[in-house]
Structure formats: structure tokens, C-alpha cells
Amino acid sequence: MTKYFLYARKSTEDEERQVMSIEAQITELNEYAKRENIDIAKTFIESKSAKKPGRPIFNEMMSVVHAAREPVGLLAWHPDRLARNSVDGGQIIYLIDTKKLVSLRFPTFWFEPTPQGLFMLQVAFGQSKYYSDNLSENVKRGIRQKLRRGEWPTLAPFGYVNNPKTRNIKPDPVKARIIRKVYELYSKGNIGLEELGKRLSFWGVSGKNGRPLCKAVVKKILSNPVYIGLIVHNGETFEGTFEPIVSRAAFSAVQKVQEQRSRKFKTRKSHDFPFCGLLKCGECGGAITAQWAKGNGGRYCYYRCTKKFGSCRQKYLREDLLIKQLKERLEKAALPSSWPEEMLNMCEAWKEEASDKQADLAKRTKQKIKEENARLDKLVNAFLDGTIEKDIYLKKKNEIIQRKTDLQEKRSALRGKGNNWLEPLRDWITSLKHAQKLASSNDFIDIKSFAEKIGTNRHLLDKQVGWDWRSPYDKIILYKQKFPLVFSRYAPARSAPSPSVSDERFVMSGRLDLNQRSHAPEACALAARPRPV
């Protein structure tokens, strides 16, 4: 009596929609074998798609059939369980032709090893392959349609959840906040990927083994454009209709930090020297390092040139003297105590006056979005007509989508906040107010960060700290040099102005200039000069 090999298979890619599970197949086939008096010599069970050749269990069964001394038979639920591709189907038919397989038994399909039976078996294998190919095309067509509608085509990425009602994704209330916090922390540039993974683990986001996420996964989160509402599929960018989690400005800031970190590798410091990396040697251009040394009955921290580029005549500078010079330079960029509040009040007045201009700007932005949509329609029509190549189409489409999302981000910012042109001015005024506080503070990390913000070409030459003032902080230095009497009269300890001149003030304009007015007899000479615009 012929011995049979039982083969049961289901696809792991489509587990929920399987008509017959492996357990059900085995049960039905055992009952069928008992009714038909079939001797099952061995059972092969596999969970893998048969769309492509290369199934390990199936190949093992074929090897056993090849090595068998006596002809054997195969028992399966249906021919599509054995093969859905031409290679595996042809292998089974060849084994029948060479008499290695003498019988194929299926509860739902009748087969005999005759020319007509082989023809029907080929038809069954062909139908199985057609079903698999057609299913693949239907899935791809559905994905393309979802992408055209701006819907996320697969399982929601971290930070989002699938919405069964809209067939799209939406931000998860908790995870979306974590994503925003991650982008906020990394954009500051003072935290690395490894430390960020530990922070995520503390917030409950970890790998399958409970360990913190590796740097590659954290970097993927920080580089995924889905968080700004874009879908990238097979190198093509689509505009998503779901709600973005982070703003485009925050996403760009994170990408900038990643680019900077990829070029620069920081070494871990064994000592806490807060001003290392702030200055360079004014003579040879080498870095300024620090070290501890004993002197004058105590232990002091000294800053010096590393002399990396050879001989250098610069001497050591004690840390307390360095701090004193830094504070003096910060004080040069500070405003008199009463000015920041008045300038911020003026900014609020400008904000109220600019509402009509912003409405007009929003209208123009909306018109530009319509123009980009028209360009996109023309581009798609040209591609469908075959007048442009696919590579050019994808490149131009990505450019249009990029411009369109930038305009939409700009439009959303105008709706939400408005008067964004005032924010840099407000930040500048606030930073000048902060400079006065740092001049009397011992927060060395903040002093270093602020010095990097306001100064470029920072150097140490002949024990003197110097740098070039960045714009717009150079305007304050210029005005203090040009109008020293005005700034001295507005020192914090000044007395109240007389009633005759109490309604006159110094006002900072939008271009950071001073409208000169007299406030005291000593300033009459200044009042006689032409006033700057």
C-alpha cells in the first residue's frame, strides 16, 4: 500500500483571513485518510506564503520524495496548499512524470495520474497562481488609492493609532506628547540618541526585550516625515490628510542637529570645565583647554592654548578672571532696566495693528496653494500622457509637495499665532534683558551658551577675551558707542524725568534703530542733531 505525506500550510501574511487553519486542515485530512484507508507516513506543517519558491518545509518534503526508494503520494487540502507559483507546481508535475509521486489526494479536488489528470492539475496550479497574483495587484491598487487620498496605508507608526472609522491614522493622546517632547529635547542639541533612548525607556517606551531603544530606532523616529503629515512610499512623497504631531520648524531643527552631529564627534570630558570649547587662541588658532594647578596658596583652574599648531606665546588665564571678562562683555549687550518692558509693550501694539496685513498674507498664501495644486494636476496629466519620464515626474512631484506643505505650514502658523514677524524681535529683546541678569549670575553653562549665541570668532589673546558681535546684537554695541550719554542717563539708578519732558521716550523701531529725543539738559546737544530713521 502506498505511503502518503500529509502537508498542511497557511500564510503568515494573512492569518486572520485564512479559510482553513492548520489545525482544521490536519483534522479534516486525518478523517479523510481514515475513510479512504490512506496510510500517512509523515506529516509536514508550514506557516509561510507559497507565492514565491523557497519554503523550507516544502523543500524538505520534496527532498524526502526524491530520496524515497518506493513511490509515495501527497495528501493536502487543495492544490493551492502545495503551490501558488510556477516553480513549485512544475516540480510536483515533474515528480509525477518521473514516477516519484504516484498519487495526489485532496478532499476538495480529484486527481488521477493520467494525461487528463495532469492537465487538470496544471489548471489548478495556474488558478492558484492567478489568484495570488490578482490578490497582490488588488492590494497594491488599494494602497495606491489610499496614498492618493492621503491615508496611511499600513499599521500606524509609533505616536499614531489606526482609526477604523476613517480608515486612517490619528495621534495617540499619550504617545504624541512623547514624540513632541523627544523632538523638543533633541532640537536643543544637548542630548544624544543613547540618552534619548534611556529617557524614552523611563517614559515607558522600550524594545521587545524591555531594554531602551537603540540609537538606530531613535534616529528613525527623529527622521520620520510622517510626524509632519507626509507619507513616503517607494521613494514617492504624498501629502497626508491626517493630523501632524510636530511642526515643520521643529522637524527641520532636529534634522539640522542630526546633520551637525554626523560631522562632529564630541569626546567625553573627565573634568567639569564649563568654558572649554567656547574660545580659540587669538595667536595660533588652537583650542582653549583648561587644567587645575596650585598657586598662591590654593588650587585654581586655568585656561590656556593647547598649542596644537606648534609654538605659541600665550599665557595662562585664571578662571575667575575669565568669568569677570565674560560678564563685562555680556553687560555691554544689556539694555537699561526700564527699556525692555517699554519695548515689549510696543511690540504688543504693533501686533494689534498688523491684523489686516496678516489677513491679506493668509489670502495670498491660499492663492499660492491653489497654484501649486494646479501645477500638480498638470504634472500628473503630463505623466499619464507619457510626455515626461517617471524619474522626472517623481522629482518634480516631490518638489511641488514640499512647497505645498511649506505653504500650508505657513498658513497654519498665521491662523494659530499670527504676527510671526514680531517673534524674533521679542526674543531679541528678551535675550537683551537676560544678558543683564547673566552679568550678575554664576550660571556658567548659561553664560557660555549666551556668549555662543551673541558672539562669533570668539578668541583669547594676551589674557583678554574678545569676539565679533553677531547681528542684531552688534546694533546695541554700535548705539552705545555712538550715544554714550543717552545710555548713561538711562542707568537703573537714574531719577524720574521732569514733567516738561515726561512724555518723551526713546523708542526702538522695527529695524532696531533709536528715535532720538532729549530727556535732560545734558542731552540737548543730541536733540539738535538729525534723528536717525
* CATH, residue 37: 3.40.50.1390
Q: What is the CATH number of the domain that holds 185?
A: 3.90.1750.20
Question: Is 177 found in the same domain as 120?
Answer: no
Residue 528 within any structural domain of the chain:
no
End-of-domain residue from the set 364, 399, 418: 418
Least confident residue range of 21-30, 171-180, 462-471: 21-30
pLDDT at 513 (0 to 100): 41
pLDDT at 227 (0 to 100): 92
Question: Is 169 found in the same domain as 241?
Answer: yes
Residue 315 within any structural domain of the chain:
no
Q: What percent of the chain has pLDDT over 70?
A: 85
Are 175 and 241 in contact by the 8 Å Cβ rule? The answer is: no
Closest CA to 154 of 47, 13, 11: 13
Question: Is 130 found in the same domain as 193?
Answer: no
The whole domain housing 133 covers: 3-144
- Beta-strand ranges (E) seen in 352-470 are 455-461, 464-469
CA atoms of 299 and 312, how far apart (whole Å): 25
Question: 3-class SS at 463?
Answer: coil
Half-sphere exposure of 193 (CA within 13 A, CB side): 18
Read off the pLDDT band of 487 (50, 70, 90): low
Question: Is 137 found in the same domain as 7?
Answer: yes
Q: What is the pLDDT of residues 491-520, one digit of tens each?
A: 544 334 433 333 333 333 333 344 444 343
pLDDT at 358 (0 to 100): 73
Question: Is 132 found in the same domain as 8?
Answer: yes
pLDDT at 481 (0 to 100): 81
End-of-domain residue from the set 263, 298, 318: 263
Question: 3-class SS at 284?
Answer: coil
The total of other beta-carbon atoms located within 10 Å of residue 254's CB is 22
End-of-domain residue from the set 263, 298, 316: 263
Residue 372 within any structural domain of the chain:
yes
Residue 56 within any structural domain of the chain:
yes
What integer is the mean pLDDT of 122-144? Answer: 78
Question: Is 139 found in the same domain as 100?
Answer: yes
Supply φ then ψ for residue 251, to 5 degrees. -65, -40
Residue 399 within any structural domain of the chain:
yes
Residue 280 within any structural domain of the chain:
no
Question: Is 181 found in the same domain as 85?
Answer: no
pLDDT: which is higher, 513 or 252:
252
Residue 328 within any structural domain of the chain:
no
Question: Is 192 found in the same domain as 108?
Answer: no
Question: Is 251 found in the same domain as 134?
Answer: no
Is it the case that residue 438 has pLDDT exceeding 90?
Answer: no
pLDDT: which is higher, 188 or 251:
251
Is it the case that residue 527 has pLDDT exceeding 50?
Answer: no
Locate all alpha helices (DSSP H) within 417-472, ordered by sequence.
422-438, 444-454
Question: Is 116 found in the same domain as 57?
Answer: yes
Question: 3-class SS at 190?
Answer: coil
pLDDT at 161 (0 to 100): 92
Closest CA to 44 of 25, 28, 31: 25
Question: 3-class SS at 504?
Answer: coil
Question: Is 112 found in the same domain as 52?
Answer: yes
Q: How many domains does the chain have?
A: 3
Query: CA of 429: how far to CAs of 71, 270, 343, 465, 473, in Å?
Result: 91, 37, 7, 24, 10
Query: CA of 37: how far to CAs of 23, 237, 361, 421, 465, in Å?
Result: 21, 60, 84, 86, 98
Closest CA to 527 of 504, 511, 497, 510: 504
Question: Is 169 found in the same domain as 71?
Answer: no
| Residue at grid coordinates 599648531 | 309
The total of other beta-carbon atoms located within 10 Å of residue 522's CB is 12
What integer is the mean pLDDT of 460-467? Answer: 91
Is it the case that residue 30 has pLDDT exceeding 70?
Answer: yes
pLDDT at 107 (0 to 100): 86
Residue 96 within any structural domain of the chain:
yes
